[in-house]
Amino acid sequence: MAQINLLPWREELRKEQTNQFLTMTGLALMLTASIIVLVHMNISRMIDHQKSRNNILQNEIKQLDVQLLKIKGLEDTKEKLLSRMEIIQSLQQKRPQIVHLFDEIVKTIPEGLHITEIKQTANSITIDGVAESNGRVSAYMRNIDASEWMTKPRLQVIESTRKDGRGSKFILVAQQSAPKTDEEQAGEL
């Protein structure tokens, strides 16, 4: 005789498929959750590593800033020292010039002319004096112009001191200079 299966096999098949679906869904959810946790942990580790690198870089930047400040201070000190050295060197070079200047002032004074006062401001020399005549002042200016240590004589004031017009009081301005060295003369040629 033929066997007839009256058991509810479709319902059991449906239950079994539902159980498999739920099991697969649960496994998929667990796998997804574990992947999410692993990715999160990896990203957190990478963030922590980057923060650590950033902190190291920030510390290095602070150290470099301190070093830059020190370097700037040293450069300022260097500039001050160099300017002082230039001033000292300039003074040392000009030291013998005052001796030559006074010697040249004496050499250029013609007879009949007397100097009453000499003032020097930077390279400008103001000479006050008395001359027997205006011609003596002119001769003095020519002598200054021919001098190696003084140039560009310029008469500021000339006044007669006597009624006969023979005596003259004068104020003269000249520039102090130094004779050209052999190198400077060669450069002009």
Q: What share of the chain is helix, strand, coil (3-state, %, to 5)?
A: 65, 20, 15
* pLDDT of the residue at 142: 84
Percentage with pLDDT > 90 across the chain:
39
The DSSP-derived string for 48-88 is HHHHHHHHHHHHHHHHHHHHHHHHHHHHHHHHHHHHHHHHH
* pLDDT of the residue at 172: 86
Which pTM value belongs to this model?
0.47
CATH of 109-176, one of 1.10.3470.10, 3.40.50.300, 3.30.70.2830, 2.70.70.10: 3.30.70.2830
Higher pLDDT, 95 or 76: 76
Sequence-distant (6+) residues with CB within 8 A of 157 are 169, 170, 171
**Is the pLDDT score of 121 beyond 70?**
yes
Name the residue ranges covered by the structural domains of the chain: 13-97, 109-176
Secondary structure element (H or E) that encloses residue 147, with its range: none
Sequence-distant (6+) residues with CB within 8 A of 153 are 140, 141, 144, 145, 172, 173, 174
Percentage with pLDDT > 70 across the chain:
89
Q: Which residues pair with 169 in a beta bridge?
A: 130, 159
